[in-house]
Structure 1
Amino acid sequence: MSNIVKRHVGFGMLYSLLLLAGLAVLYIIDFPMDDWKDIWTKHESNVPFLVAAPLFVLFSGAILGLFSGLYWRKRWLQATREMESIREGQQPLKKRSFSLTELQQTWAELERLQTYMNEQAKLAQKLTNERVIDREEEVQRIVSEERNRLARELHDSVSQELFAASMLISALTESEEEETALFKALKQLEAMVQQSQLEMRALLLHLRPAALKGKTVQEGMELLLEDLRAKVPLSIDWELDTFPVEKGIEDQLFRIVQESVSNTLRHAKAESLSIKLLQRDSFIILLVADDGIGFEMGTEQPGAYGLQNMKERAAEIGAHLRVVSVPKQGTRLEVRVPMLDREEEEA
């Protein structure tokens, strides 16, 4: 038996004895007894009245205290469970009605406490999320600055040295007679330097991708491809339909084009590259195709990381990205972006 029940039983018995004593005193004062021996001689079921009366009162007080203790024990356990649920952040308190005003007030205080703790939890989560977002933005800023720094250093050092080496080899090749061993070696070296230049430009494009900066995706793609056509020994052609594209979709499509061009320059060993941006029915379609070495579908290829990036960017705008590649025949990338009506999207 819990302490609450024990205390109520004890208080019930004590209260009953005190009540009996008080009533006895009042009775004796109002009705004085001539002979006190009558208290012992009077019997109730063969038990002296002086013994039976206290026993009956004590039993009644104990029963009353037991029921009272059980009731309050139940209420106490209920309040304890609710406090535990509040502490653990579980289900909200259920609406309850009590006959006693004190219990009703206590329950209202518990509800207010839970509301306060929920608000504190929401505030803590909000602050945590804001800190995480700020931390991620700071990391992205640092990474972007470091990538730009590396790109500048590579462009100012390695890229310039490769260009100088290419010019020197070209000059040596022109002064050497054809069909000689040195001429063939210089040609091989020239091809290696040119391939290194291609990979360097692709790496610079990956490290420091150009931004649209207020231009449309068509304008950004045209500037990018014209710049590449002037710098790389690769036949590049493009077809860009003119139609409005939402800002978020523009940015992701432009990044996908940059990533695909970078992969082509680094891995495809292609001679030609074709890029199309079309609007067909309710879809924006981006097509990138090259005539490079291709790869076996389902196998790990050198540009797998870049391909994964493109898939993630396509998923962010609800697009479907598909890659088809055949060894020695080239690779074709297709991105289909659904164009949703504003009214339909808001509905």
Structure 2
Amino acid sequence: MRKGIYFFIFSATFGLLFFLIIKFLEVLNYNWVEIWLRDWIGLQILAMLFVLSLGAVALAFLAQVWRAQTIRARLHPALEQIRKGQVYTSLDDPVLDSDLRALGQSIHSLQQKRQETENENLVEKAKVVTQERQRIARDLHDTVSQELFAASMIVSGLRQSRLDVAGIQKELQGVEGILNTAQNDLRILLLHLRPRELEGRNLVSALETLLAEVEEKSLLKIRLEVSVDQLPSEIENHCYRIVQEFISNTLRHAEAQHLEVYLKQTAGQLQLKMVDDGLGFNQQENKEFHYGLANMEERVEDMAGRMTLRTAPYQGVAIDIRIPILKGEQDENSISG
């Protein structure tokens, strides 16, 4: 390609010189044919001038090619020096040197911004870890620690009491209830300690594992219905954490016996519905549940979706989430209720 360009430039230069000589002869009222046939001296002079002109043009052209090749050979090391943040060797070309300085400044600025972003991410991750540790410590102190302390005090009191067998059985039943509550609170804490991401699994597999574990370690009867195609990883992670949050709230507050999770993908939309048959709550009064609800709403907003909550005291909780997706299997059936 480059050789073709050079040949074109050389040919155009040769044609231009020939054209100028013809015009020069016309201005001097010389006839080209007469010079060719009769005036050999004039013809030799013209030929010499033509060759000299052509040689000068060729030399100028070759000089430019050589300069371009030289700059090209020096440009790569200069770009490599700029990439490494070093002071590059000048190319002795004011325009290129100016462009390279601007490029170096831009790269340096981008590197600084990237480093600042990475530092901010590290600080944010450290902040999240600290907050999570504080939350776990607070939850352990407010729930399990207090419950175990209460059970310990009751058992300690029994050693000094003079209760009959019926009284002791009643106290032990109370201790059993406290320990069962502590065990349930520990399950909730362990649920929050599960990985925030899917660890290479798809959403369906992760939900099956999570719900099977919850059903095994609690009194909940769980139902899972899934009909999905492949989903973007970001949507899968958000949905997984939303289900985790809902289960946590159900175990902590609902006193439910059944929990149902439906996940259905239709054309252009993903529907996630979660239902329990627990105590429900008054949306204007229950502040404890609102924290988990706010987390779910934030995740839904990140996916440009919408969330509908239906609940009332002693009527359970139903959350219906609709998330737009770019593609999906056509399915006209939706989860009703």
Q: TM-score range by the shorter chain?
A: 0.5 to 0.7
Q: Once the two structures are superposed, what CA deviation does each residue of 1:225-257 show, in whole Å capped at 9, x if it has no partner?
A: 111111112222211224211111111111111
Q: Deviations over 1:159-189 (max 9, x none)?
A: 9999999xx9xxxxxxxxxx93333332233
SS at match of 2:264: strand
Establish whether residue 244 from structure 1 lines up as the match of residue 230 from structure 2.
yes
User: Are 1:136 and 2:120 counterparts?
Assistant: yes
Task: Quote the Cα distance in structure 2 between the aligned partners of 1:340 and 1:326.
Answer: 35
Residue aligning to 1:287? 273
Which residue type is aligned with residue 139 of structure 1?
Answer: V
Residue 287 of structure 2: SS of its match in structure 1?
A: coil
Deviation (angstroms), 1:148: 8.0
Task: Give the corresponding residue for 1:224.
Answer: 210
- Aligned sequence identity (%): 29
Consecutive unaligned residues of structure 1, counting only runs of 5 or more, are 1-114, 169-178, 343-347
Q: In structure 1, what is the Cα distance between the partners aligned to 2:258 and 2:120?
A: 39
Compared CA separation, residues 325 and 254, structure 1 to 2 (3 A):
same
Deviation at 1:298, TM superposition (A): 3.3
> 2:185 is matched by which residue type in structure 1?
E
Over the aligned positions, Cα root-mean-square deviation in angstroms equals 4.5
Inter-CA distance 133–304: structure 2 relative to 1 (3 Å threshold):
farther
Unaligned runs of 5+ in 2: 1-98, 153-164, 329-337
CA contact (8 A) 2:259 2:276 kept: yes
Q: How many residues align?
A: 225
The reply on whether 1:183 has 2:186 as its aligned counterpart is no
Q: Would the alpha carbon gap of residues 301 and 163 (structure 1) be closer, same or farther in structure 2, given more than 3 Å must change?
A: closer
| Structure 2 CA distance for aligned equivalents of residues 152 and 270 of structure 1 | 24
Separation (CA, whole Å) in 2 of partners of 1:185 and 1:247: 51
1:76-115 residue CA offsets vs partner (Å, 9 max, x unmatched): xxxxxxxxxxxxxxxxxxxxxxxxxxxxxxxxxxxxxxx9
After the TM superposition, which residues 257-296 of structure 1 pair with which residues of structure 2 at under 5 Å, given as runs? 257-296=243-282
Change (3 A) 1:120 1:195: farther
- Where do 4+ consecutive residues of structure 1 move more than 6 Å? 118-125, 147-154, 156-165
| Contact 2:144/2:182 (8 A) holds in 1 | no
User: 2: CA distance between counterparts of 1:123 and 1:299?
Assistant: 54
Query: Does the CA-based 8 Å contact 1:268-1:293 persist in structure 2?
Result: yes
In the TM superposition, residue 276 of structure 1 has moved relative to its aligned partner by: 1.1
**Cα 1:132/1:291, change in 2 over 3 Å:** farther
Give the C-alpha shift of residue 341 in structure 1.
3.8
Distance 1:213 1:207 in 2: 14
Please name the residue that 1:256 is paired with.
242
Alpha-carbon distance in 1 for matches of 2:145, 2:136:
14
Q: Which moves more between the two structures, 255-264 or 206-215?
A: 206-215
1:1-347 equivalences in 2 (<5 Å): 126=110, 129-143=113-127, 180-341=166-327
Q: Are 1:202 and 1:265, in contact at CA under 8 Å, matched by a contact in 2?
A: yes
Distance in 2 between the 1:134 and 1:125 partners?
14
Shift of 1:196: 2.2
Q: Deviations over 1:239-280 (max 9, x none)?
A: 122421111111111111111111111222222211111123
